[in-house]
Amino acid sequence: MAIVILSLSLGVLYQAAVGATRNARVAAEYSRAIVIAESVLADSLSPMTNDLSIQGQFEDIRWSASTRELPVEGPSDSDLNSANPLLLLEVRVTWGDEDRPRALALSTVIAGQVDQ
């Protein structure tokens, strides 16, 4: 009986230790993914990126960045938007295996290229 209780207790403790280790690893992966996302965001701030669609990989972390014109409502705003468009820049970072994929996304608004 004592052995059964001991084995159950150790099993629970073991699961807790494995879970804590996994959580620490996932937190570290998120930290790396955020650094990548912020770097891609900084690298994509050029105003000449109206139709940006790029992707890449750092170790086992994949990233992609794209821009699309931000729709602005109202006639006067539309005129302004066509003259100097605002773009939504989105950066998406994915990693992990197929069973447990992980992802994060950052976005910002940048000034688009003005057509001459």
Shorter beta-carbon distance to other proteins: residue 36 or 66? 36
**Residue 31 Cβ vs other proteins, minimum distance, rounded to whole Å:** 4
Tokens (6 digits) for 29:
């992966």
Binding residues for other proteins, per CB under 8 A?
Answer: 2-3, 6-7, 10, 13-14, 17-18, 20-21, 24-25, 27-28, 31-32, 34-36, 38-40, 42-43, 45-48, 58-59, 61
Q: What does DSSP assign to residue 98?
A: S
In this structure, is the dihedral angle defined by the CA atoms of residues 69, 71, 75 and 77, taken in order, positive or negative?
negative
In this structure, is the dihedral angle defined by the CA atoms of residues 25, 98, 37 and 40, taken in order, positive or negative?
positive
**Residue 76 Cβ vs other proteins, minimum distance, rounded to whole Å:** 29
